[in-house]
Amino acid sequence: MDNAESAALIRRFIEAYVCADPDDFASYFTEDAQGGIRPGSLWWAALPWEIRNIVAGGNVVMTERIDNFQVGETRVSVPCMGAFELRDGKIAAWRDYWDLKYFEAQLPGKDGPI
């Protein structure tokens, strides 16, 4: 895959994540993939994520995003950096970096984003 194809794959994956179809989600990963969170496996639902920047080089795609979630009646938005390692056109590793306290501060009963 060239860099443009790699970036396009991750854009499609992020769209698929929000749809929460487990079979479609799984089709993006290698059999031995590491990291990531399965959609719908937690107590929140993913809403459309905003990709602010995406860059691909070799087998790595980096994303700067705003990840949006629905937690009960509350919408939560979190700035996030993601690293995706690709192998044979699939995600072999996925790591996200974000601030848990910023996420938690937006939940009901908290004072709001810091």
**pLDDT tens-digit series, residues 29-75:** 999 999 876 655 556 677 899 999 999 999 999 999 999 988 888 89
Mean pLDDT of 67-89: 93
Q: Of 12, 74, 23, give the one whose Cα is nearest residue 45.
A: 74
Q: How many CB atoms lie within 10 A of CB 28?
A: 21
The predicted pLDDT at position 27 comes to 92
Global pTM reads: 0.86
In the numeric block, the tokens 């994956």 are attached to 13
Q: Which CATH number fits domain 3-105: 3.40.50.2000, 2.40.10.120, 3.10.450.50, 3.90.1170.30?
A: 3.10.450.50
Between CA 114 and CA 106, with CA 75 as vertex, the angle to 5 degrees is 25
Domain map (residue ranges) of the chain: 3-105
Residue bearing the bigger pLDDT, 19 or 40:
19
